[in-house]
Structure 1
Amino acid sequence: MHDWTHVADGGPLNRHFLRPAWYDAWEAAYGDDRNWRRPARYLPVEDGAASACILPFSTQRIGPFSFASLCGSYFPSRGIPFRGDPARLAAASLPLLRDIGSSAGVRLGPVPEDDPLFRALAPVLERDGWSVTRRKVGTDFILDNPGGAEAYQKALSNNRRKKIDYYWRKLQEAGDTTLRHFTDAGADWTAVIRDIQTVEVAAWVARDGEPRFLGSRNACYWARLTADPWFSRALNVWIIYHCDAPVSFALALDSGDTRYVIANSFDERVAQYRTGTKIYQKLILDAFERGLERINIGMGDTGYKSGWGARPGPELIDMVAFAPTLYGTTARLAARMQEVLQRFGKS
């Protein structure tokens, strides 16, 4: 993979994580997983001036159809690294998308619905005869910086602060307890990821969910990502150790003015102590002390995220553009029929 770091660094601050190492780690770990096929392709686009982007596509098979799909990690989202004028880049990208090979179309998602490049690209594709479908994946919840850590701490209700202190005190009374923050300076990422795995194997996600750190593919992904200097600086991990064992964690990624909460979990044996509240308090205060403008806590809310002051932000959408070819039209009709059959099944 050639180096196009300058493209990512010249784009929106909160999308600086869309850089070569992000895709390299994904391809090494998941490039041939499930319905994905290697190799990934990174197609450069320039407008003849200062604008540029990289189209990061890998092949994804959906039933009998082959699509050129945006690759990279699903969390916090996928995307096209770009700098400059989105409208000019959308127009300049069209010839490459037409010549994408034998694909039925392109899958562009999940991406934030307010991404300026995707907003410019959709009408360009539609005017060229592509059939563009959009599906809502979820809504990100955003916590804005109210003016610093002290201002945020004061805005928390007395009841919430008392509960955080109460459960933390009870956990300490049950055994020796510490909360450690790991970031680039002096972090042994191999040991940190191993401690996260220890938590995850004892968490509900290991039994009923989709683990993010267990298994050889996940281990490969995090080993590749943490080995990169930019991500080593951008990643932040908080782990609670109780009686010398890791029992709770949160992992976040800082990109420009935004902190993304990527994963968190806890050992079910300490569930009664609500360890996540202590970690979230530290994670939030640390972000606002550093001057970050917002924290993206991820999709969905059962009341927990709004309890911290987070509010609905941009929706994540999955956009599929079916090519104006016989193959693309056939795939679009098959997708439409599948949707109809699913609706019949629910009625």
Structure 2
Amino acid sequence: MSRPMALSEFTRLPPAVTVDCVDGLAGGIDRVAARAAPSHRFLRYGWFAAALSAYGGEARTLMVSREGDPVAALPIVAMGPAWAGMAAVPGCYWPFRSFPVSEDAGAEAAEALLRRLAGEARALRIGPVYDGDSGLELLKAAAKERGWAVLDRFVADSFLLDMAALRGEGTWPRNSTLRKNRFHEKHLGSHGALDWSFVSGAGWDDAAFDALAGIEQHSWIADRTDGSDAKFTANGHGGFWRAAAADPVLAEMMWAAVLRVDGKPSAFSFDLNAGTLKYAIANSYDPAYGKHSPGKLLYYRNLVRAIEDGMTRVDWGAGDSGYKRTIGAAQGPAIRDWLFVRPGVEAALARALGALWRRSGNRGAAAAAASAGESAGGAEAQRVVDADEAQHGHEEQHGA
């Protein structure tokens, strides 16, 4: 009679990983987003649906499952002429364009995703996205090992404010800053009663969005530009944010601090709250009150409220480094645009032409960085150079 096999003698089979391509946006996106890093949990079905509604496109979704459990969801839309067979991750420029990946997704998920992706598109664009992004890193190592061409172009450096660390070192905001703010508040109050309020969750109704749009219509962005970069107007990106707020989970993440002067909306600071991290998306103010620093007054109040709510860091994104450094922000990860080109003739051609892709990035900031011997950042890196990012700019400026 044969002896029973010991447990150590059994061969452990790798987990079964499958990839399905679904027309449209897959319902499983939210299941993956819920298990992603807290910083990426806004990458929900409603986020991508809002982008398709606002910017157009017909999506397909590559759903990666391990033992039947979804671990990655990659929505894609066609990019460029149909004959090119290129795809891109849809979404909004703010805070970045990526896709949700479960925190426990492994290399086997990336390998399976790439195999299926090669049959769906010749190339995939991801970004602009931060260095170290979970979706990016999942694909990058596996793609290079399997002969894909992986090309990046520099967009900008980000700026991060570590409020917890600064408060640990001493009083923050500084008492001198608070005194200056009280001085400006006193003079701003000469224009009428000041009302400071916050909007989130169920508070996102038409009136709330109209208030933000009204401020933008009186701001520098309406005066000095064609207004297409405004976040909340009808001819800007208002359609995206209104559609995103239809998802109650996203609506809870969306946050605005609003200042009204004598009942009139006069300044706002708009963020996306992701766990203990606050993405600073947009700020604007009515220049009629500019000499009293309404933007500065509002964002300091907003940050103090964030601390009270348990938030520890602020991601200020790219551009206009002056006021961010004054607040205490430091340079963070670079933001880049990426192309993944499938193995074979396409990858060889992409490598040969890779310099063209890199030069189409933020060349002014990159050149300045090279001559200075350090990473590029600041106002020179405020927008991506190519036409797509010119449409999807990054932020307004504060009153100073």
The bucket for the TM-score relative to the shorter chain is 0.7 to 0.9
> Partners in 1 of 2:218 and 2:360 — Cα distance?
39
Larger of the two Rg values belongs to structure? 2
Confirm whether residue 284 of structure 1 aligns to residue 303 of structure 2. Answer: yes
Aligned partner of 1:159 in structure 2 is: 176
Q: Which amino acid aligns with 2:46?
A: A
Within 5 Å, which residues of 2 pair with 1:130-279? 130-146=148-164, 154-184=171-201, 187-209=203-225, 210-216=229-235, 218-279=237-298
How high is the TM-score relative to the length of structure 1? 0.87
In structure 2, runs of 5+ residues without a counterpart are 1-24, 368-400
Q: Does structure 1 retain, via aligned residues, the 8 Å contact 2:216–2:230?
A: yes
Q: Which amino acid aligns with 2:47?
A: W
Q: Does structure 2 retain, via aligned residues, the 8 Å contact 1:323–1:329?
A: no
Which runs of structure 1 show a deviation greater than 3 angstroms over 4 or more consecutive aligned residues?
47-51, 62-66, 150-153, 325-343
Change (3 A) 1:161 1:64: farther
Write the deviation string for residues 290-336 of structure 1: whole angstroms up to 9, x where unpaired: 11231112113432112222222222111112233445554654564
Change (3 A) 1:30 1:217: farther
Identity %: 26
Aligned partner of 2:33 in structure 1 is: 8
Q: Which moved more, 1:120-129 or 1:139-148?
A: 139-148
Q: Does structure 2 retain, via aligned residues, the 8 Å contact 1:239–1:248?
A: yes
Choose which of 95, 99, 117 in structure 2 pairs with 1:97.
Answer: 117
Q: Which moved more, 1:85-94 or 1:319-328?
A: 319-328
| Residue 203 of structure 1, CA deviation | 0.9
> Partners in 2 of 1:261 and 1:61 — Cα distance?
31
In structure 1, runs of 5+ residues without a counterpart are 32-37
| Residue 49 of structure 1, CA deviation | 7.1
State the structure with bigger RCO (CA 8 A, min sep 6), 1 or 2.
Answer: 1
Q: Does structure 1 retain, via aligned residues, the 8 Å contact 2:151–2:357?
A: no
Q: Which moved more, 1:6-15 or 1:220-229?
A: 220-229
> In structure 1, the residue corresponding to 2:141 is in which secondary structure?
helix
Aligned partner of 1:35 in structure 2 is: none
| Residue 137 of structure 1, CA deviation | 1.5
Aligned residues: 334
CA RMSD of aligned residues (A): 2.7
Change (3 A) 1:90 1:2: closer
Q: Does structure 2 retain, via aligned residues, the 8 Å contact 1:176–1:244?
A: yes
Confirm whether residue 321 of structure 1 aligns to residue 321 of structure 2. Answer: no
| Residue 339 of structure 1, CA deviation | 6.3
Aligned partner of 1:34 in structure 2 is: none
How high is the TM-score relative to the length of structure 2? 0.76
> Partners in 2 of 1:12 and 1:63 — Cα distance?
34
Aligned partner of 2:129 in structure 1 is: 111
| Residue 140 of structure 1, CA deviation | 1.9
